Structure 1
């Protein structure tokens, strides 16, 4: 789990608390995503979209990009089963060959690393 003082985005001092604007519920959701990433031995999870940019609404979905997951389908099912009632989570498999260049650029531009295996 992330502590409030750990860096999220490289070269910047974002914390889970800052990207959730102090919303305890969202902090719990992000920490649950991180726990699942560890369980499925994911190499990296990046938050992108409106929640990463900070222009989200209360009911905006959560967009995450997943790198290095050998069992992506099971991870996606687990996220859907465990977190679906909270908010919709759009999970992108970055190891897929069908990712558009536009999406890759959006993730590079706005993405905030939630988890990275060391």
Structure 2
């Protein structure tokens, strides 16, 4: 997996949080880190694919990611709740799989 300007330790920490949520099918990275034009302090744009995910589950995931105390801001969204057509198009064009659940059948 490419590093997207993130250390393997950082990626593993984020993925360990995501793996604790079986409702997550996959997580896509988009934005500057996916496009390769990120800077050292660029945020991490992630959208979660999983139709059964609720807003309260999103908040729990965000809190767990925040508890990692990483030096990056993580913007987490639920793919099925995004209504901005331009953002959805951007994610479909440049989004890369950051995490894929082992719970998927």
State the TM-score, normalizing by the size of structure 2: 0.80
Gaps of at least 5 residues in structure 2 are none
SS at match of 2:37: coil
Higher relative contact order (CA 8 A, sep 6+): 2
Alignment of 1:1-80 (within 5 A): 15-17=1-3, 19-20=4-5, 26-41=7-22, 42-68=24-50, 69-70=53-54, 71-80=57-66
Aligned to 1:9: none
Aligned to 1:100: 84
Contact 1:16-1:27 within 8 A present in 2 as well = no
- Tell me how large the CA RMSD over aligned residues is: 1.7
Q: How many aligned positions are there?
A: 97
Mapped partners of 1:65, 1:87: distance in 2: 16
Mapped partners of 2:7, 2:83: distance in 1: 27
Query: How much does 1:81 deviate?
Result: 2.0
- After superposing on structure 2, the runs of 4+ consecutive aligned residues of structure 1 that deviate more than 4 Å are none
Query: How much does 1:100 deviate?
Result: 0.8
SS at match of 1:39: coil
State the TM-score, normalizing by the size of structure 1: 0.73
